[in-house]
Structure 1
Amino acid sequence: MKLGLQLGYWGAQPPANAGELVAAAEESGFDAVFTAEAWGSDAFTPLAWWGRETSRLRLGTSIVQMSGRSPTSIAMHALTLDHLSNGRVILGMGVSGPQVVEGWYGQPFAKPLARTREVVAIIRKVLAREAPVTNDGPHYPLPYAGEGSVGLGKPLKPIVHPLRADLPIWLGAEGPKNVAQTAEIADGWIPIFYTPKSAGMYQPWLDEGFARPGARRTRADFEIAATCHLEITADDGPAKQAVIDGLKPVIALYMGGMGAKDQNFHKQVFERMGYADLAHQVQELYLAGEKDRATALIPDELVDDMHIVGSVGAVKERVAQWADTGVTTLLLSFRSADELRRVAEILA
């Protein structure tokens, strides 16, 4: 199992030490660095900026929001950065949610699976550069000939010859149908709440995708990049508990406060994991402004399952458990370069 540095997306200001973290990851044998986007910083620019100081790390997005750019625009970003990095790009994409897609990007959210399939197909056509790119699908028609068209659209091939036609495309997916489609059409999967206890829930969905006619990968060469918080503590008692307690507000936010009340995809994952009643209570409290009460409901065992926290021996054991479930890359975030180096040394 490889290690990846997860830089995520920016808060109110750019992070102060991201460059140091990337340099430490390069030196410490990490496989990749990943960036994300929400409705502030974008995912590609930080990879180009900090990635220029690297020569070995793969440069991944986890994730690019597909509604923020046309499929051909996403392909242009990816092929450009792939040339600049000598073939180190991983294009991670996802559908986001209706509040962001329709509220921020001004695009329709309906039929996200069909949209995903079209986006991936168009990007692969661009990267293959075998013929002018066309698409007959209803969501991203190329050339466009709909309302407002002047009728002069022309199928085009990219001017730049892509470095890799098989540039890896990974997808963020949460529900059964989306995960199955990911296993069918993508090179890898970026789950948001993958845990050792929930891993079994995903296996039939993945198997369904791998078994479909024309599936791109098999389980043997399909990558799973799971995100968790890893922290080494002085003991597996009070020190670990303090970290567990500190992680609960984030879980409460995703369970109860992310997305619309009736369409919170993160909450649905927790429901499938067996926490339906808890998720309902947390959402009711969170949306009512009772964030502290919502956070207090998050059980220790859920946090412990979602993250890797404890003494050196306990962390090593837990990392092995994650690897045994099929995770190929563990995406980790760090507060300092020294913390990253220590984790890399311990897990080496």
Structure 2
Amino acid sequence: MTDRDVFLPVAAQPSVDALVEQAQVAEGLGYDRAWLPETWGRDAVTVLTSIAHATDEIGIGTSIMPVYSRSPALIGQTAATLQEVSEGRFRLGLGPSGPIVIENWHGVTFGNPLKRTRETVDIVKQVLSGEEVSYDGEYFELEGFRLRCDPPEPAPKVDTAAMGPKAVELAGRFADGWHALLLTPDGLRDRLEDLERGAEMGGKSIDDVRVTLSLNCCALEDGEAARRLARGHTAFYVGGMGTYYRDNLARQGHEAVAHEIFDAWQAGDHEEAMAAIDDDLLDKLAVAGPPEECRAQLEEWEAIDGVDSLSISFPREANLEQIRETIEALAP
């Protein structure tokens, strides 16, 4: 049975308390985990700590924590601490983010994201084992680091987010799970083949790698408003968040539309960028409309073989009321 998670929209919220309340509502409705991204709003660690103290059963996790903004040793310490304060409910999601965020906002050279992600995963797992860390990599050389506290038991799982074939293959080979996003059903099936190949290279089964699909959702009684919000969210990511999302959509057989969205958004014509996403494409990338229709669409996504969890995310322009309405409408 496919789990159903909630992906909290950290950057858009008025307060930490609002995020805590959303996690509490999700817990009461039976959601399995609350994921929190770390972008340019509140840091994920402080918010997840607050959520851990305010909830009892719902899992918590980062989706994603960038591998460029903290050292691997600090990420390992952080994961161990969050596992402690949540009493074993934490799962670590890592990823490279993109050049706009890393270079423009963090002032760090983006470099080789696949290699850096792999080395970070390796080191974090060594830290979480409680053993002394010895690592000689391309980006990191560590010697003598060891947790001063007891290592977490069990150690939290370490996932990676990925869109391209090689990055997904890396997730299958070295991580405990893969975070997928902005994929059509056919695109998802193609990437699952990459994941399986990576798992085989790592000497394990694809069943050992947990697949969490982040799905842009907006379920409102005002179905047209819901679809506009979802369409705007998709246009923003393809058009405004660098080339990775554009290339990801193009890779799935929608190259002309991907470039049309990107060019229009970069030119400042957001309405034209949104108009380039027709209803058929929107339905392949998001779940949006009246609640009953959305619940039926979710069941189709859950039926895709290989997906372990659907993470219900929300359009970036959705307000608190619309987020609450969607959480309730799509509850497990």
How many equivalent residue pairs?
A: 323
Relative distance call for 1:103 and 1:12 in structure 2 (3 A) is farther
Q: Where does 1:96-107 land on structure 2 (aligned, <5 Å)?
A: 96-107=97-108
Q: Choose the corresponding residue for 1:324, options 300, 303, 306.
A: 303
SS in 1 for 2:311: strand
Q: How far apart are the structure 1 equivalents of 2:225 and 2:327?
A: 20
Q: Is the 8 A contact 2:238 2:261 kept in 1?
A: yes
CA-CA distance at 1:311 after TM superposition: 4.7
SS in 2 for 1:255: helix
Larger Rg: 1
Name the structure 2 match of 1:151: none
Q: How far apart are the structure 2 equivalents of 1:57 and 1:305?
A: 29
1:126-160 CA-partner distances (Å, limit 9, x unpaired): 11123x212110201114xxxxxxxxxxx121101
Relative distance call for 1:224 and 1:158 in structure 2 (3 A) is same
Q: Does 1:291 align with 2:270?
A: yes
Name the structure 2 match of 1:191: 180
Relative distance call for 1:11 and 1:339 in structure 2 (3 A) is closer
Q: Is the 8 A contact 1:8 1:62 kept in 2?
A: no
Name the structure 2 match of 1:253: 236
SS in 2 for 1:273: helix
Q: How far apart are the structure 2 equivalents of 1:206 and 1:106?
A: 31
Q: Where does 1:266-345 land on structure 2 (aligned, <5 Å)?
A: 266-311=245-290, 313-325=292-304, 326-333=306-313, 335-336=320-321, 337=324, 339-344=326-331
1:53-94 CA-partner distances (Å, limit 9, x unpaired): 111111100010110000000011110111111111100010
Q: Does 1:10 align with 2:6?
A: no
SS in 2 for 1:90: strand
Q: Where does 1:53-92 land on structure 2 (aligned, <5 Å)?
A: 53-92=54-93
CA-CA distance at 1:95 after TM superposition: 0.2
CA-CA distance at 1:12 after TM superposition: 7.6
SS in 2 for 1:134: strand
Normalising by structure 1, what TM-score? 0.86
Structure with greater strand share of residues: 2
Q: Choose the corresponding residue for 1:227, options 214, 225, 233.
A: 214
Name the structure 2 match of 1:162: 151
Q: Does 1:43 align with 2:33?
A: no
Structure 1 gaps of 5+ residues are: 144-154
1:164-209 CA-partner distances (Å, limit 9, x unpaired): 3541111110110000000111111111213324222212211210
Q: How far apart are the structure 2 equivalents of 1:310 and 1:253?
A: 19
* Seq. identity, %: 30
Structure with greater helix share of residues: 2
The amino acid across from 1:314 in the alignment is E
Q: Is the 8 A contact 1:8 1:37 kept in 2?
A: no
Moved over 6 A (4+): none
Structure 2 gaps of 5+ residues are: 315-319
Q: Does 1:206 align with 2:181?
A: no
Q: Is the 8 A contact 1:83 1:162 kept in 2?
A: no
Q: How far apart are the structure 1 equivalents of 2:98 and 2:86?
A: 31
CA-CA distance at 1:213 after TM superposition: 3.9
CA-CA distance at 1:7 after TM superposition: 1.0
Q: Is the 8 A contact 1:128 1:162 kept in 2?
A: yes
